[in-house]
Structure 1
């Protein structure tokens, strides 16, 4: 039983389920605060949450001294660039288009891995499974609404989210190639705090400072988002460093994020309920995962 709870598929599913709860929290927070300030506060707080656990391992300073260049690179590319693009993009798009664009991340990672990692080549069967998975995301997203405000904002939002996917894929590949960078909790704490600090500094330059006078619901969403980032990133970095784990295989589990997000909205949001598009999409994504992991 213990092996099940520490297995790569189980931990990947846990991380994806946590990430799937983020969309609602982000939308709530963006009602009160501007994107970069909100994102900076979220990730800086996430790093602080796991700082005591990282310090307890006794190698915090040593890890930073030995791997400071890599940590700064991850902080810049993962937390600062990826989430600056993500928060900006999600503020410009309706929920359906956001889900579709984010749902293409497994394809983006698989293509990047194919051209950068010798041991992680994509096959026609894997490509077919990823395309099927994206089709399932589209079905689920249809029920969320694809119509935006028109004009240039939806186009810019799509471009920003695609670039966010690319940034995430690059960082995943970098971490998967590093097996000696220390504890995933330590790395996660460092990059979240540094990236969050960069986002906050950037927000003070490009956004009017909103202060901290927000309603309680804002801080509930902030704390929840910070907590899921702290846990999910620590899990993900652990899995990326595991021997034999391919970055493209791991990222396919992210197809579960829109599935879990839809289920949560049915349970928690008044007036939300299953429809034929969402149910079809879930079935398609399930088939895609089976196809992807089917023994050749």
Structure 2
């Protein structure tokens, strides 16, 4: 990936780093499906406004809208619902570790379905090292709850698998000639329509006590920053770098979340944090491939005989 794409990946990791926190605030007063509907619905309104301001419009092609609905199902409706429901039963740290399996699933799914993203040993090794780094950084203690709420943990793993399929499925938007902004808007619009009946039927949010200002601010941040803005970045990265590279952002989410906590909240960094960051950096370097190619090139230059040796 180019330096520009890596910058987009880093920015997306910062934006998504706050999503677990925002969800953690919202679930104290709102039920899961209502949070998900508010998240995608408000994001859709935001993106439609951005479309209008930039002079763009959504395509009318039925084939493209069918793809919007497929992407909305795989990338929003299924994983958002599973993750939010899972976080009502397990700690956010364990949910983050389970979410960090997304690139592992991504390598398998993309390697199976996409001819130009076949799994290679450096890529598999890099993903494994990155996952180990995420576990070290978040803390092995987060695994203490493993097995206690099995269905909630399976829900988080199901969300990671759904994200992996979404990354592979979303590659088709580039062939359809749809811009990242149009794709992001179409996806959250479709997912809003898909999700609308469920909270209305199962949770009846109009019967709940009015949420606090803190909860509303968390929902707005979740919708505008972690969804609307995030998916514009998401589809730009997907078009430029492919499904496997896109999903690497999951490894960087705990890094940016912990660094932001240190810079903004004054939280202290431990040895485990630095060790986790080092492992994640090593995993990303293995997947990117350039450091390994540089090392091989340097070794080959050293092994080549000089004119003096030939004489």
TM-score by length of 2: 0.85
Say yes or no: does 1:34 pair with 2:31.
yes
* Match runs of 1:91-106 below 5 Å: 91-106=88-103
Match of 1:285 among 262, 280, 285: 280
Match of 1:171 among 162, 166, 175: 166
Q: CA deviation at 1:164?
A: 0.7
Q: Deviations over 1:60-104 (max 9, x none)?
A: 253454511111111222211121111112222113211211111
Q: 2:221 and 2:121 mapped to 1: Cα distance?
A: 39
* Match runs of 1:198-213 below 5 Å: 198-209=194-205, 210-211=207-208, 213=210
Match of 1:184 among 161, 180, 184: 180
Q: CA deviation at 1:165?
A: 1.1
Q: SS where residue 40 of structure 2 aligns?
A: helix
CA-atom RMSD in angstroms: 2.2
Q: CA deviation at 1:187?
A: 2.0
* Match runs of 1:66-85 below 5 Å: 67-85=64-82
Q: 2:212 and 2:200 mapped to 1: Cα distance?
A: 21
TM-score by length of 1: 0.89
* Match runs of 1:23-172 below 5 Å: 23-58=20-55, 60-63=57-60, 65=62, 67-142=64-139, 145-148=142-145, 151=148, 153=149, 155-172=150-167
Q: 1:265 and 1:74 mapped to 2: Cα distance?
A: 32
Unaligned runs of 5+ in 1: none
Unaligned runs of 5+ in 2: 294-311
Q: CA deviation at 1:275?
A: 2.0
Q: 1:247 and 1:41 mapped to 2: Cα distance?
A: 27
Say yes or no: does 1:250 pair with 2:250.
no
Q: 1:236 and 1:137 mapped to 2: Cα distance?
A: 21
Q: Deviations over 1:202-240 (max 9, x none)?
A: 112222425471111011111111112111111111221
Say yes or no: does 1:195 pair with 2:191.
yes
Q: Is the 8 A contact 2:111 2:117 kept in 1?
A: yes
Q: 1:35 and 1:57 mapped to 2: Cα distance?
A: 33
Q: CA deviation at 1:56?
A: 4.2
Q: Is the 8 A contact 2:44 2:185 kept in 1?
A: yes
* Count of residues in correspondence between the two structures: 287
Match of 1:218 among 203, 215, 218: 215
Q: 1:183 and 1:149 mapped to 2: Cα distance?
A: 41
Q: SS where residue 60 of structure 1 aligns?
A: coil
Match of 1:235 among 233, 236, 240: 233
Q: Which has the larger radius of gyration?
A: 2
Q: Is the 8 A contact 2:32 2:85 kept in 1?
A: yes
Assess, with a 3 A threshold, how the Cα gap between structure 1 residues 42 and 253 changes in structure 2: closer, same or farther.
closer
Q: CA deviation at 1:18?
A: 0.6
Q: Is the 8 A contact 2:122 2:289 kept in 1?
A: no
